[in-house]
Amino acid sequence: MAGAGGGRPSIFPTLLYADAKAAIRQLTEAFGFTELSVYEDEGGSVTHAELVQGNGAVMLGSQGRGGVFDTAMKGAGPAGVYVVVDDVDAHHRRAVEQGAEILMPPADQDHGSRDYLARDLEGNVWSFGTYAPGTGA
Question: What are the contacts of 111-116 at 24+ separation with CB within 8 A?
Answer: 114/88, 114/89, 115/88, 116/88, 116/91, 116/92
For position 9, what pLDDT does the model report?
74
Choice between 71 and 85, residue whose per-residue pLDDT is larger = 85
**76, pLDDT greater than 80:** no
Strand order in the sheet with 46-53: 14-17, 56-62, 46-53, 34-40
pLDDT average, residue stretch 92-116: 94
Distance CA 21, CA 25 (A): 6
Residues 107-135: tens digit of each pLDDT? 998 888 899 999 999 999 999 999 877 76
What own/partner pairs with CB < 8 Å and gap ≥ 24 does 2-5 have?
4/137
pLDDT range class, residue 4, cuts 50, 70, 90: very low
Instruction: State the pLDDT at residue 3.
Output: 41
- SS3 of 95, please? helix
Query: What pLDDT sits at residue 98?
Result: 97
Query: How much is the pTM?
Result: 0.81
